Amino acid sequence: MLHKDIFEELMNEEELEKTVSEIAGRINNDYRDKSLVVVGVLKGSIMFLADLFRKITIDDCQLDFMAASSYGNSAVSSGNVRITKDVDCNVKERDVLIVEDILDTGNTLSFIKEHLLSKGASSVKICTLFDKPARRKKPITADYTGRTIDDLFIVGYGLDYSEHYRNLPYVGVLRSEIYS
């Protein structure tokens, strides 16, 4: 394992595979016979999204991306969300599923959800691999959640600290001395 000295493993590759399959099964059931746009939030969702999207079996399913941030290169959200890349496809009168790596303060996902609804989406639901409710600042919940975690700083499988550790094939808890 890479970087074992700076974090402890939280979720291994097998656990990730099982969790992604379970979430995909629920999505396939819920969106059967619907027109779905899956919107991945860059960059953190990329690993989760790639694995999840391959397991979605809905015929009328489109993939798009957004990029938004309230963190920059910090470990703490500024609360000011900015969209740096908007969706390219038309979401008007379509069901939209936002896929994100982690639901933390809720600032970014609340902003994105409202943004997509303002573009005329019929519905907007949220799918997140990790939910960290202890840090919530906005009243938002995910419709699909892989795992609820305590207030831990996690990296790997797309999650980063200052653009590092995204490439790890598992998720680990970063030691506080690294980001403090």
> Choosing from 95, 101, 104, 160, which is the catalytic residue?
104
pLDDT, tens digit only, all 180 positions of the chain:
455 667 888 999 999 999 999 999 999 999 999 999 999 999 999 999 999 999 999 999 999 999 987 655 545 555 688 899 999 999 999 999 999 999 999 999 999 999 999 999 999 999 999 999 999 999 999 999 999 999 999 999 999 998 999 999 999 999 887 777
Phi, psi of 48 (to 5 degrees): -60, -45
Has domain 7-179 been given CATH number 3.40.47.10? no
Range 122-148 burial, b when 16+ CB lie within 10 A, else e = eebbbbbbbbbeeebeeebebebbbee
Per-domain boundaries in the chain: 7-179
**104 is annotated as an active-site residue:** yes
Residue type, 70: S
Q: Which of 24, 22, 17 is nearest to 38 (CA)?
A: 24
Contact 75, 179 (CB under 8 A): yes
As a whole number of angstroms, the distance between CA 59 and CA 48 comes to: 20
pTM of the model: 0.91
